[in-house]
Amino acid sequence: MNGKILTPEGLEKLKAELKELKEVKLPDIIDKIEKAKEMGDLSENAEYHDAKDQQGLINARIVEIENILKMAVVEEATSGDRIGVGSRFTAEDDRGKRQDFTIVGYNEADPTAGKISNESPMGDAFMGRQAGDSVEVDAPKGTITFKIIDVK
């Protein structure tokens, strides 16, 4: 597969970010550049150089998002009891701590929010598993064993 996996929610989030960048942030930066040019000497104009730097970052992000969207493979949450991209599930670690997780594409990963990439070692370990299965995940602190409580 050439494309990177996205959930439908991740796709919509990227489209919204792209729209915001193109329709709000880029025009605002272009306006700031024009105003900074009116101040005169550009060689020592900090506002101008800052705005040009911001314009470069915004343009780079626009290109990045457009490339992601061109190559993206959107996967709906798997139905049934097996974990796949888009699946939400609860797992309990070997210390008895329960956590809710969602398997997402790498662009959507946010471990602090329980969103783990299908490409990460942890996400990969859960893929294809079901409630009742035990999963071992290699972590920096050592191997952690999780028991899958339920798949939503």
CATH number at residue 25: 1.10.287.180
Query: Does residue 82 belong to any structural domain of this protein?
Result: no
Q: State the first-to-last Cα distance of the chain, in angstroms, to the nearest integer.
A: 27
Do 106 and 49 lie in a common domain?
no
For position 3, what pLDDT does the model report? 61
Query: Does residue 79 belong to any structural domain of this protein?
Result: no
Do 12 and 34 lie in a common domain?
yes
Tens-place pLDDT, residues 134-151: 999 988 888 999 999 999
Query: Does residue 66 belong to any structural domain of this protein?
Result: yes
Query: Does residue 110 belong to any structural domain of this protein?
Result: yes
Residue 139: exposure state from Cβ atoms within 10 A (0-12, 13-18, ≥19) = exposed
Instruction: Provide the number of structural domains found in the chain.
Output: 2
**pLDDT of 79 strictly over 70:** no
- Nearest of 105, 85, 103, 127 to residue 3 by alpha carbon: 105
CATH number at residue 121: 3.10.50.30
Give the whole-angstrom CA distance, residue 23 versus residue 13. Answer: 15
Tens-place pLDDT, residues 19-64: 999 999 999 999 998 888 887 777 777 888 899 999 999 999 999 9
Q: What is the mean pLDDT of residues 4-9?
A: 85
Which residue in the block uniquely carries the two structure tokens 């996996």?
Answer: 5
Do 103 and 55 lie in a common domain?
no
Cβ–Cβ under 8 Å, residues 138 and 121: yes
Torsion, Cα of 141, 143, 147, 152 (10° steps): 70
For position 52, what pLDDT does the model report? 92
- For residue 78, name the pLDDT band (cuts at 50, 70, 90): low
Cβ density class 59-80: b for 16+ within 10 Å, e for less: eeebeebeebeeebebbebbee
